[in-house]
Chains A and B, each alone.
Chain A
Amino acid sequence: MANHQLDPQKWVDKYSDYLYNYTIVKVNDKEVAEDIISETFLAGLKSMKNFKGEASERTWLISILKRKIIDYYRKINSNKGKAEVRMNYSSDEETGDWLEERVADPFDRTAEDDLENTELGVAIYACLNKLPEKQAAIFKKKTIEGQDTETICKEFDITPSNLWVIIHRARTALASCLEENWL
């Protein structure tokens, strides 16, 4: 199995939009989402030594993020006077302490592989993460940030025809990924 590496300097560029889309549908508040993601990255930094390289960087970050989201709900619930968060097992055979057991799971494979029933934004950024790094960066700048061709060409030192080939590949790969996993 591939041994994954952590590279915190690239975390914000690579994963912040993905984590943001993932979080915002769960907490429904922009500022809360921003805080949770910032905490997630910092927690990731602190527990880097615990990373075994078995899960991908993104899956690992998502597993930390999930705990942070649960923490957030625990906190607001205790503020409201101990309302209970009920989460049930999917089947009756499984019993035990739901939160502690599930949350302690070091990584959750479904977070990466199962894009069905996820939000559009989560699916798009998950698919973008599958593209080669440079391709994804150029595609994001052109398509999502709406920068013009000339600026991007200068930054990456490529010609406009290089750029259009990259855009074409990215679009084709993204369309297939979304058709397979989301539509």
Chain B
Amino acid sequence: MKLFVDCKKAGHLCDKGQYEDASFFEKLNVRFHNLICKHCSDYSERNAKLTKLLKDPKCRQMPEECKKRIREELERELAKEKAEQKP
């Protein structure tokens, strides 16, 4: 294992870090890399900001059971229309 990684690897590990998919050592890799690389340190900052926005309670999601209900309703209506067109 290397302590210092290249930009490509650092970017990938930074992405993984946004999902808690990066190990402690990998997070350390990103930190070390960012010390010497302005570009990647900007990328990390932007990436973290995006993660924060996506977790904001103002970014809402329609509940899954409601989506399911609407999907079924639409399918029923579509089937009905098809049946009406046939005869």
Interface residues of A (CB under 8 A from B): 8-9, 11-13, 16-17, 20-21, 24, 30, 34, 37-38, 41-42, 45, 119-121, 124, 142-144, 149, 164, 167-168, 171, 174-175, 178
Contacts and interface: CB of A to CB of B under 8 A. Distances in A.
B70 interface: yes
The interface residues of chain A, by DSSP majority, are classed as helix
B interface majority secondary structure: helix
Nearest to B65: A34
Interface of B: 11-12, 15-16, 18-19, 21, 46-47, 49-50, 53-54, 56, 58-63, 66-67, 69-71, 73-75, 77-78, 81
A34 B62 CA distance: 8
Contacts of A144: 54, 59, 61
A120 B54 CA distance: 9
Contacts of A16: 62, 67, 70
Nearest to B66: A34
A21 B74 contact: no
A121 B71 CA distance: 22
Given A167-B15, A175-B46, A143 B54 contact: yes
